[in-house]
């Protein structure tokens, strides 16, 4: 099980052990944007874990201060008495960074910055940044999430978001990434890259915080996943995994099974982590060694 929080989209996604999407929630991260420095009031990026779960069994709208219930229950009347309070309500998932020098230890330590996923008043807007560093959720959502995730669940806080659509909707955006990765970088002939399947496939693109397209992939009507491409600067930053998980979710919605793909041999380990198993012998495709994989 793992969580991905998208800063551009202001969403929290929950996945099971096989990378199946279980739930998507609207959240609110830092008004000051992304950052790890202590005192910045920014939301930290990178890989984290849930280090502690606090508040099990408490009534919704229970007020916490220093991770302890104050005995108060949030209400509009209480809010009017304390207009400047940063309300932490209902449940707390206390995050700890796992990347030393980036979000762990020293002045960038997420846990020592007291960064939580927590409940908020119903009057707080979700889907737009507004916190002072934490990840705010609606009370009903944090209760549901709290009950589903164990301690040490991985949490990725990322600076990209995903969009799904048809080739007519996303083709122009997807094309630039595929040209860069497949045609220019890997030397795939243009006549092999563009085919009749684009028009009938479901496509997914990843965009960074500036709206620039950084990755893409497609799902054919028969359950084949392909044309997975991520720009070099974004590899190793969970973009490929996010694209695959969205494509798996799209396939689940269409009740497509099994899922198949032609994996470049050097990427087999990546797909195995997503539940795919290699079959048969190695074959050449566009001059590159591949193997068939099934999920």
pLDDT digits (tens, 9 = 90+) for 206-261: 999 999 999 999 999 999 999 999 999 999 999 999 999 999 999 999 999 999 99
Q: What is the mean pLDDT of residues 110-118?
A: 98
CA pair distance 105, 98, nearest whole angstrom = 9
Query: What average pLDDT does the chain have?
Result: 96
Please tell me the number of Cα atoms within 13 Å of 202 on its side-chain side: 20
Query: What is the reported pLDDT for 286?
Result: 87
The tokens for 182 are 């497949």
Averaged pLDDT for residues 278-294: 94
What pTM was estimated for this model as a whole?
Answer: 0.91
Give yes or no for residue 138 having a pLDDT over 90: yes
Binned at pLDDT 50, 70 and 90, residue 197 comes out as: very high
Indicate the pairing of strand 224-230 with strand 213-219.
antiparallel
| Alpha carbon distance, N-terminus to C-terminus of the chain | 18
Residue 58 neighbours by CB under 8 Å, 6+ apart: 69, 90, 91
User: What CA–CA distances, in Å, run from 37 to 50, 94, 105?
Assistant: 20, 17, 11
The yes-or-no verdict on residue 140 having pLDDT over 90 is yes
Q: What is the DSSP letter of 254?
A: T
């Amino acid at each position: 099980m793992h969580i991905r929080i998208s800063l551009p989209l202001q969403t929290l996604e929950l996945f099971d052990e096989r990378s199946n999407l279980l739930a998507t929630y609207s959240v609110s991260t830092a008004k000051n944007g992304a950052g790890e420095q202590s005192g910045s009031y920014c939301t930290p990026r990178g890989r984290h874990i849930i280090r502690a779960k606090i508040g099990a069994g408490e009534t919704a709208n229970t007020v916490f201060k220093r991770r302890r219930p104050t005995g108060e229950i949030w209400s509009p009347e209480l809010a009017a008495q304390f207009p400047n309070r940063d309300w932490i309500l209902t449940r707390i998932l206390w995050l700890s960074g796992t990347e030393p020098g980036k979000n762990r230890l020293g002045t960038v330590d997420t846990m020592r910055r007291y960064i939580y996923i927590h409940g908020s008043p119903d009057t707080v807007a979700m889907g737009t940044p507004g916190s002072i560093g934490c990840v705010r959720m609606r009370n009903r959502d944090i209760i549901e999430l709290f009950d589903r995730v164990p301690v040490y669940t991985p949490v990725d806080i990322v600076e990209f978001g995903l969009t799904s659509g048809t080739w007519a909707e996303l083709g122009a955006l997807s094309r630039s990434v595929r040209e860069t990765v497949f045609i220019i970088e890997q030397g795939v002939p243009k006549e092999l890259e563009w085919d009749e399947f684009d028009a009938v496939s479901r496509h997914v693109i990843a965009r960074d915080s500036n709206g620039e397209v950084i990755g893409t992939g497609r799902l054919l009507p028969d359950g084949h996943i392909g044309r997975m491409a991520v720009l070099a600067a974004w590899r190793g930053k969970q973009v490929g995994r996010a694209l695959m998980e969205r494509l798996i979710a799209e396939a689940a919605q269409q009740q497509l099974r099994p899922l198949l793909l032609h994996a470049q041999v050097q990427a087999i380990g990546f797909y195995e982590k997503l539940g795919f198993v290699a079959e048969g012998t190695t074959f050449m495709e566009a001059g590159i060694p591949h193997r068939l994989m099934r999920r």
